Amino acid sequence: MPIRVLSEEVAAKIAAGEVVERPASVVKELVENSIDAGAREIKVEVRRGGRRLMRVIDDGTGIPAAEVELAFARHATSKIASVEELASIATLGFRGEALASIAAVSQLTIVTRAAEEDVGTLLRLEGGKVTHRQKKGCPQGTVITVENLFYNVPARLKFLRAETTERKHIDGLVYRYGMAYPHLRFSLLNDGRLTFQSLGSGELYDVLIEVYGLEVAQQMIEVRSSETNDLGLVDVHGYISPPSLHRANRSYLTFFVNGRWVKDRMLSYAVSEAYRTLLPTGRHPIVVLRLELDPSQVDINVHPTKSEIRFLDSNAVFAAVQKAVRRTLVDQAPIPRMMGRPSQQPVLDMERWRRLVEVGTQARAVGIEAPSAFEFPESAKLPPLRVLGQVAQTYIIAEGPEGLYLIDQHAAHERVLYERLLAERAKMAVASQSLLEPLTIELPFQPGIAGGESLEFLNHLGFDIEPFGGETYLVRAVPTMLATGDIGQAIAEIVDGLTEGEAVGAGEERALISLVCHSAVRAGKTLSQSEMRDLIRQLEATTMPRTCPHGRPTMIHLSAAQLAREFGRR
Q: Which of 116, 106, 88, 126 minimizes the C-alpha distance to 30?
A: 106
Residue 355: CB partners within 8 Å, gap ≥ 6? none
Among ligand ADP, Mg ion, none, what does residue 96 contact (CB within 5–8 Å per kind)?
A: ligand ADP
Note whether 416 binds ligand ADP by CB under 6 A: no
What's the rounded Cα separation, in Å, for the pair 517 and 416? Answer: 11
The CA–CA distances, whole Å, from 23 to 116, 161, 431 equal: 33, 10, 38
Shortest gap between Cβ of 130 and ligand ADP (angstroms)? Answer: 15
Closest approach of Mg ion to the CB of residue 141, in Å: 16
Please state the closest distance from residue 320 (CB atom) to Mg ion, in A. 29
SS3 468: coil
Q: How many CA atoms, within 13 angstroms, populate the side-chain half-sphere of residue 288?
A: 26
Q: How far is the CB of 288 from ligand ADP (least distance, A)?
A: 25
* Residue 145 CA, distance from chain mean position: 29
Q: Answer whether 453's CB lies under 8 Å from 165's CB.
A: yes
Question: Backbone phi, then psi, for 57, in 5-degree steps?
Answer: -115, 125
Q: Which of 49, 50, 60, 128 lies at the binding interface for ligand ADP (CB under 6 A)?
A: 60
Could you tell me the sign of the dihedral formed by the alpha carbons of 232, 223, 442, 184, in that order? negative
Helices (H), 227-366: 265-274, 314-332, 350-365
Query: Can you tell me the distance from the alpha carbon of 277 to that of 7, in angstroms, rounded to the nearest whole number?
Result: 57
Q: Does residue 444 contact residue 471 with C-beta atoms inside 8 Å?
A: yes
Residue with smaller CB distance to ligand ADP, 141 or 242: 141
Q: Interface residues for Mg ion in 192-251 (CB under 5 A)?
A: none
Which residue, 63 or 325, has its beta carbon nearer to ligand ADP? 63
Q: How is residue 259 annotated by DSSP?
A: T
Which one among 64, 96, 259, 551 touches ligand ADP, defined by CB under 6 A? 96
Which of Mg ion, ligand ADP, none is residue 267 near (CB under 5 to 8 Å by kind)?
Answer: none
Q: How far apart are CA 383 and CA 253, in angstroms?
A: 46
Q: Does 93 bind Mg ion (CB under 5 A)?
A: yes
Out of Mg ion, ligand ADP, none, which partner does residue 439 contact, by CB within 5 to 8 A per kind? none
* Site stretch for ligand ADP (CB under 6 A), options 7-15, 61-69, 254-262, 324-332: 61-69
Q: How many residues bind ligand ADP (CB under 6 A)?
A: 23
Q: Which does 251 bind (CB under 5 to 8 A by kind): Mg ion, ligand ADP, none?
A: none
Q: Which of 97, 424, 471, 500 binds ligand ADP (CB under 6 A)?
A: 97
Per-residue binding letters, 490-529, with ligand ADP (x by CB under 6 A): ----------------------------------------
- By beta-carbon proximity to Mg ion, the closer residue of 33 and 554 is 33
Residue number, 49 or 93, with CB nearest to Mg ion = 93
d(CA 547, CA 380): 9
178 SS3 class: helix
26 binds ligand ADP (CB under 6 A): no
Give the C-alpha separation, 156 to 159, whole Å. 5
Binding partner of residue 97 among ligand ADP, Mg ion, none, CB cut-off 5 to 8 Å per kind: ligand ADP
Q: Which of 98, 287, 300, 555 binds Mg ion (CB under 5 A)?
A: 98
Q: Do 486 and 456 touch, CB atoms closer than 8 A? A: no
Q: Is 93 in the site for ligand ADP (CB under 6 A)?
A: yes
d(CA 42, CA 187): 7
Binding mask 111-150 for ligand ADP (x = CB under 6 A): -------------------------------x--------
- Where along the sequence are the contacts to ligand ADP (CB under 6 A)? 29, 33-34, 37, 58, 60-63, 71, 76-79, 93-100, 142
- Where along the sequence are the contacts to Mg ion (CB under 5 A)? 33, 93, 98
